[in-house]
Amino acid sequence: MKTRAQSTARLRDLRSAPLPLPRTSPAATTSPPPAPAIHLPPHHPQTPFRLFRRLDSLPMRALRRLAARFAGRTIALAAYGSIAAAIGLVSAWYMTEAGTRLTVERDGPWARWTLAGSPDADPYTQAHFSRAGWLPLSAAAAVYFTASRDSTGEPLFSDCDYTVSGVAPAGRRWTLAAYDLNGGLLEAGAGASAIASDTALPQPGGGFSIALAQSASPGNWLNTSGAARMQLVLTVYGMKQALALKSSAAKAPALFRIERTGCR
């Protein structure tokens, strides 16, 4: 058994012995180098942000509202002006090309400008004949009827065959010719470019039948060439009495009918 003196000496040795160091990994023994100090410059607002702040100020807000209102009104005025100009151009073209009941009388496919050749002609009538390059005579001397469609409402083409038939209009003399839509006379080639009452052969009943075709046809034949739109012009001379009858209760006979017989 150990004596009390030995136990006391052993306890003394344990107290005087140095404490063991804790185990550390190699990586923990080397500390990382300190990070370099970052010196930030004093904060200055960038130019775009300063500009945005200025644009967002109260005076600039009022100016932006004024500019937006001005731009909206300008766009609206431009749109309304364009629409008004388009309507004006279309209406002027229609009044000059087709006319209305105030300026044009219609009889089947035929149309007559009532004030053609009159010194009191309205501007649309004057523009219509100026555009076609015609110098119409007064109504007391000649009356002009034009047709750009047949009796069924289809457009007239020079490469189609037509038959113009009916009772001759009341007048001293009449002529029938084919023109293009620009007012130029169609080239007839070997055939006739126009047919008149003094050269047309009447039918047994007193009426007339005229063939419009590019190939020769027996009887009354009016040669048409090309393959474009065309219009027929019927000029009646000395029709003053017939016009008076037509405006009265006794209706005058209808003008020639225009019927298509074929197309190439």
Task: State residue 175 phi and psi, 5-degree precision.
Answer: -135, 150
CA atoms within 13 A on the CB side of 47: 0
In whole angstroms, what is the distance from residue 139 CA to residue 143 CA? 5
- Look at residue 16 in the predicted model and tell me its pLDDT: 63
**Residues forming a β-bridge with 49:** none
Per-position pLDDT tens, the chain of length 264: 456 666 666 666 666 656 555 555 554 455 666 666 665 555 555 555 565 566 666 677 777 788 888 888 899 889 989 999 999 888 888 888 878 888 898 888 999 988 888 888 888 888 888 887 788 888 778 889 999 999 999 999 988 999 999 988 888 899 999 988 888 888 766 677 789 988 899 888 888 999 998 888 888 999 887 768 899 999 999 875 445 444 443 344 578 999 999 887
Do the Cβ atoms of 195 and 217 come closer than 8 Å? Answer: no
CB-based contact 103:125 (threshold 8 Å): yes
End-to-end Cα distance, the chain = 146
pTM, to two decimals: 0.65
pLDDT, position 47: 53
- Residue 44: phi and psi, rounded to 5, are -125, 125
**Integer Cα distance of 158 and 136 in angstroms:** 24
What are the counts of helices (DSSP H) followed by strands (DSSP E) for the chain? 6, 10
Rounded to the nearest angstrom, the gap between the alpha carbon of residue 26 and the centroid of all alpha carbons in its chain is 88
DSSP code, position 26: H
Q: What is residue 18's predicted lDDT score, i.e. its pLDDT?
A: 60
pLDDT at residue 214, rounded to an integer? 86
What's the confidence (pLDDT) of residue 210?
93
pLDDT for the residue 100: 83
Contact 207, 167 (CB under 8 A): yes
